Amino acid sequence: MISVNIQRGRDHGIPGYNEYRKLFNLAPITTLENKPEEIAQEAWDVFKLIYNSPDDIDLYAGGLSETAMPGKYLRNYLLILESSILPYRIWSQR
């Protein structure tokens, strides 16, 4: 199912994980040598093997690899999705 969701994102032209980080004022990942603190080391090691650039990381893969930061209950990915989807859910309930 994960590969289907990644492919679906690519098919629909959804920007990568790094673009969403920038959009929501999170520090962009400039190199694969600089792991963001939100992503576990094991996941980052896999990203370094399969992606050539931080800009290649798919939103779904990057988001699911995040861990909740201290003082937060949700991962950044979930917060991004909620803020992106909430206006559509409100609109569709009219």
Per-residue pLDDT tens digits for 14-65: 889 899 888 878 889 999 999 998 888 999 999 999 999 999 999 888 888 8
Residue 73 has pLDDT above 60, yes or no: no
pTM: 0.73
**Angle ∠(21,58,87) on CA atoms, nearest 5:** 55
The reported pLDDT for the residue numbered 91 is 46
Exposed, middle or buried by CB within 10 Å (0-12, 13-18, 19+), for 62? buried
Q: Which range of residues forms the domain containing residue 86? A: 2-92
Structure tokens at 7: 């492919």
What is the Cα–Cα distance from 79 to 35, expressed in whole angstroms?
20
Please count the structural domains in the chain. Answer: 1
The reported pLDDT for the residue numbered 33 is 94
Residue 81 has pLDDT above 90, yes or no: no
